[in-house]
Amino acid sequence: MNQMTRLTISPPAQPAAMPDADSCWRAFLARDRSMDGAFVGCVSTTGIYCKPSCAARHPRRENMTFLPDPAAARAAGFRACLRCRPDEIGRDRLAVDAAIALIEAAEEAPRLDDIADHVGYAPHHFHRLFKRETGLTPAAYARGLRAERLKAALAEPGSVTSAIYEAGYNAPSRAYADAEQHLGMTPTAWKDGGRGVTIRWRTIGSSLGPMLVAATDKGLCRISFGEGEAELRTRFPHADIHPANPALEAMAQRVAALVEDPAAGADLPMDVKGTAFQQAIWAALRGIPPGETRSYGQIAAAIGRPGAVRAAGTACGDNNLAILIPCHRVVRSNGGMGGYAWGLEKKQALLAREKRK
């Protein structure tokens, strides 16, 4: 293990805007942990301030005001709740930021004990904290980061072996194991545009128009509106692309049913790859109940990166599985629709159907 140096983490230059009062109140009623750190609630009758997930009995709405952070609450004369300890949210977030910086700077993935010692937490406690804040364990984050470096290295001229060592792997065997999980194919196949990978596809009708459904042997790799074989071949120019077999036919029927019933595909297999950040965003999207929406800021806060609002929006746009990973449930903080890769009319229609149900 290389000698590690402690890093200084600066707070995000542009923190996410505080939600409106109605959204803050709903977060308190739901004890929404993903909103911890986005604001605090101040109770005029007790003089305390709490984080949204506080387990204490809820006060009356007219007795609550909402402020952007603990410092603002203290300046207004409130004191911290001893039950939920709202001042510790900032420390937890800074610890996770410091751990991420350490993982990203290290040539080899640091051990959990080293990461925990670096940020001043007990290993078992920090393991839970890191997963709560990012949706991934420290080890999974490190594997995703290294696989992303491998992907970038494979895009450059040179041999596959050189790319493997440039990405930080000590042996090709570990690189091939990670590539199967994060790239969906071997490093050689990825470098060669998917050569040797079999993808089956078909288009199927839905009440919102035709949909492309494509899958590898591991699961669905593309669900989209208005695309066909040509677009699929552009994405994987050297893959072995074939019409659907019976297994994909069955999955395609369930995908089409998702347009009417979001629960119809809850257990459909997926084969989508992305960075550790993207995977965390996509997991947060799948956690939004049908009929509800979240803002880009809320999604960023849900994975412990409240300052990464723009990056959260980009990750939503990189989603390859329309409907199944429900990026249509993310809107702007002011209630506006925001963007949608397959058109705002489809996004509005999907949201309207889910709210009716």
pLDDT in tens, 212-255: 999 988 889 899 999 999 998 888 777 889 999 999 999 999 99
Confidence bin at 174 (pLDDT 50/70/90): low
Residue-level pLDDT at 142 = 79
- In terms of Cβ atoms closer than 10 Å to its own Cβ (0-12, 13-18, 19+), residue 330 is buried
Nearest to 178 by CA among 283, 284, 275: 275
> Between vectors from CA 90 to CA 84 and to CA 94, what angle results, nearest 5°?
135
Quickly name the fold that domain 21-86 has. Answer: DNA Methylphosphotriester Repair Domain (3.40.10)
Higher pLDDT, 109 or 282: 282
CATH class of 88-191: mainly alpha
Q: What is the pLDDT of residue 150?
A: 60
Beta-sheet strands, E only, within 159-284: 198-204, 211-215, 220-225, 240-243
Is residue 268 predicted with pLDDT exceeding 70?
Answer: yes
Closest to 16 (Cα-Cα) out of 348, 318, 311, 298: 298
Which residues are catalytically annotated? 50, 327
Residue 24 CB-density burial (10 A; 0-12 exposed, 13-18 middle, 19+ buried):
buried
- 45-94: pLDDT as tens digits: 999 999 998 888 899 999 999 998 899 999 999 999 998 888 876 677 77
| 45, two tokens | 């009758």
* Portion of the chain with pLDDT greater than 70, in percent: 78
> What φ, ψ does residue 270 adopt, rounded to 5°?
-125, 145
CA–CA separation, 225 and 344 (whole Å): 12
Domain 198-265 classified CATH 3.30.160.70? yes
**Where is average pLDDT lowest: 90-94, 102-106, 294-298, 352-356?**
90-94
**Distance in angstroms (rounded) separating the CA atoms of residues 153 and 148:** 9
The structure's pTM equals 0.54
- Fold classification of 276-356 (topology level): Arc Repressor Mutant, subunit A (1.10.10)
Q: How far is CA 146 from CA 241, 318, 319, in A?
A: 28, 19, 20
3-state secondary structure of 43: strand
> Which pLDDT does position 181 carry in this prediction?
53
Q: How confident is the model at residue 153 (pLDDT cuts 50, 70, 90)?
A: low
Q: Give SS3 for 20.
A: coil
pLDDT at 41: 95
Strands 211-215 and 220-225, bridge-based pairing: antiparallel
Give CATH 3.40.10.10 domain extents, the chain: 21-86
User: Would you tell me how many other CB atoms lie within 10 Å of the CB of residue 110?
Assistant: 22
> What residue ranges of the chain are covered by domains with CATH 1.10.10.60?
88-191
Q: Of 40-44, 145-149, 327-331, give the lowest mean pLDDT range.
A: 145-149
Average pLDDT over residues 132-153: 72
By the 8 A CB rule, do 97 and 105 touch? no
Characterize 183-203 residue by residue with b for buried, 16 or more Cβ atoms within 10 angstroms of its Cβ, and e for exposed: bbbbbbbbbbebbebebbbbb
Give the whole-number percent of the chain exceeding pLDDT 90: 27
